[in-house]
Amino acid sequence: MSDGVKVQEIGHARPARVWRDSEDNWDLRFPRSVRVFSKMAREDSQVTSVLKAISLPIQRAGWQIDPNGAPDDVVSVVSEDLRLRVLGDDPNAPLAPRQGKVSWSEHLQQALLSLTYGFMFFEQVYEERGGRFRLKKLAPRYPSTITKILVADDGGLEGIEQDGDVTIPVNRLVGYCHDPRDASWTGTSVLRPAYKHWVLRDDFLRLEAQVLDRNGMGVPVYTGSELAIDPDADLQHGQEIAETMRSGESAGASIPAGAKLTLVGVNGQLVSPREAIAYHDSMIARGVLAHFLNLEGKGGSYALAETQSDLFIQSLQTTAEWIAETATQYIVEDLVHMAFPGYDGLCPRVTFDPIASKKEISPQDLAALKNAGLVVADKPIREDLRRRYTLPPMEPWESFVERNPNAGRKSPDELAKLVEVALSLKEQGVELDKALEAVGLNPAAVEAGDGEGSDSVATSIEVKNVEFSG
C-alpha cells in the first residue's frame, strides 16, 4: 500500500463542548427516559393506539429468508435457527422441529420496543449441536435492565453494562438503535415528539375531571338564617354542609329555619378543555404520521384517511426494512460465521412481504381470479373456503352418486344434439367413432344399430344411456 494512502480513522464521534445536540430534557435522557416512555406506553390510550398502529402491521407481514445465492446447507441452518420459511417454500409445509428457543415472531415483537425506547439489545447465545454452533437464544436485554451503554471514541458500540457488574461485549450483542442522532446508541423514541403533548393533555384531562366534578351539579351556596343566635357559628356549619355535599340517591342536608341551601349554576360559558385535548391527541398521532387515527366520520374523511394512510404505510415499510437489515447484519451473518467458520461467501437475508399486502379475498374476488385463470379451484382452496365460511364438509362421491344416479350424465336432448353433430361430421367423411369422440361421446357406450342414419343412433341413445366421455 502506498505511504500516501491514509486508512486509519483520525476523527472521533464525541460531541463538541461548544455545541451539544443531545437531549436537553433530563427526564428524557437515558436511563431516566426508560421510566417516562414506559409510563406513556402503559397508561395512555392514545399512545398505546399509536404504538400498536406502527407495530402490528410489521408483525403481521410475512417474514422469510431470502437465500441470496447462499448454499442450501447455509440457508437451511439460518431458516431452522430463526424459525423462518425460505422464500418460495410452501407456506403450508411444516417447519423443522425446534431445537433452540428462538422464535422470530417473538423476537420481532421485542425488537419493535426500540420504537418506544429508542433502542433494544439482545444477547446471542449459541450451543454446539450436530457438530456446529447453532443459535440457541436471542435473549432480550430490556432497557430497564441496562445501567450503561459503552461506546468507543469512534462511535462504535463496545458493550452494555447491567447490575451485578455484568458486561456484555459487542460481539455477543444485537442492537436495534432507532433513528440515532448522536453516537450514544440510545436512539430516538417515536414518543419523543409526543412528550410535551402528552404532558399537557394529561393536565387537561385532570382539569376536565375537576370541571365536571365541580360544575356538573352546580356550586352549593348556603345562606345563613336571620334567626340564628350565633351567626358566625351558623355560617361555619353551613360551610361544612356546602363543602361535604355530594350527589347520590340518599344525598341531602338539613338546615335551620330561615336558612337557604341552593345549587348555583355557572354564569356565562366556561372554556371546555375538550378541544385542547383533541388537539394534543392529534399531535401525538401526527408524530408517527398516523393522522388518520383522529379523523371523524365527516364528509371526505374516508378519502382523506386513504391518502394519509399511504404515507403512513411507507413509513412502516422503511421501519421494517431497517429491522430486516439489522437482523441480517448482526444475526444472520454472525450465525453463518459461527456455524460455518471457514465460509466466506454470500449470506442469506431476512426479508418480508410489503406492508399491508396481506388482504382478505372476498368470494367475488376469488371468482374473478378463477375466471381470469389466475387460480384453480383445487382441493386446498375448496377446503379453505369451507373452513373460512363455516360451510359443511364435502359429501363423499359414492354417497352423492347413490342419491343422484344420473349425476355426470347428459340429458337425452343434450345427447341427441351431440349425436346430430357427430352424424354431420360422418357425412363429411369422418368415421363415426372419431366423430363421436370429437363431440365428447364415448363410442363404446353407443349401440349404433346399422349405423346408417340418425334415427337408429338416436333410438339407441334413448334405449341405452350414453355416457359422456369427459
DSSP per-residue string spanning 242-256: HHH---STT------
| Together in a domain, 181 and 102 | yes
Q: How confident is the model at residue 316 (pLDDT cuts 50, 70, 90)?
A: very high
| Together in a domain, 177 and 237 | no
In a domain, 299, yes or no: no
In a domain, 418, yes or no: yes
- Single pTM value for the model: 0.72
Distance from C-alpha of 131 to C-alpha of 123, rounded to nearest angstrom: 22
| Together in a domain, 184 and 243 | no
| Together in a domain, 423 and 388 | no
Domain count, the chain: 4
Cα atoms found within 13 Å of the Cα of residue 181, Cβ hemisphere only: 10
Q: How confident is the model at residue 457 (pLDDT cuts 50, 70, 90)?
A: very low
What is the residue range of 421's domain?
A: 412-463
Distance from C-alpha of 435 to C-alpha of 428, rounded to nearest angstrom: 10
Q: Which three cell numbers stand for residue 453?
A: 342414419
pLDDT at 110 (0 to 100): 97
| Together in a domain, 112 and 260 | no
In a domain, 185, yes or no: yes
Whether the pLDDT of residue 427 is over 60: the answer is: yes
In a domain, 296, yes or no: no
In a domain, 20, yes or no: no
Q: Which three cell numbers stand for residue 315?
A: 413509513
| Together in a domain, 233 and 133 | no
In a domain, 338, yes or no: yes
| Together in a domain, 69 and 145 | yes
Last residue of a domain, one of 204, 238, 264: 264
| Together in a domain, 121 and 47 | yes
Q: How confident is the model at residue 459 (pLDDT cuts 50, 70, 90)?
A: very low
| Together in a domain, 346 and 453 | no
In a domain, 186, yes or no: yes
Q: Which three cell numbers stand for residue 49?
A: 393506539
| Together in a domain, 183 and 326 | yes
Whether the pLDDT of residue 461 is over 60: the answer is: no
| pLDDT tens string 42-101 | 999 999 999 999 999 999 999 999 999 999 999 999 999 999 999 888 777 776 666 677
> What's the full length of the chain, in residues?
470
| Together in a domain, 42 and 73 | yes
In a domain, 120, yes or no: yes
The DSSP secondary-structure symbol of 394 reads P
Give just the sign of the alpha carbon dihedral 152, 158, 159, 164.
Answer: negative
pLDDT at 21 (0 to 100): 63
HEC-encoded secondary structure of 152-176: CCCCCEEEEEECCCEEEEHHHEEEE
| Together in a domain, 119 and 88 | yes
| pLDDT tens string 242-262 | 888 777 777 778 788 888 888
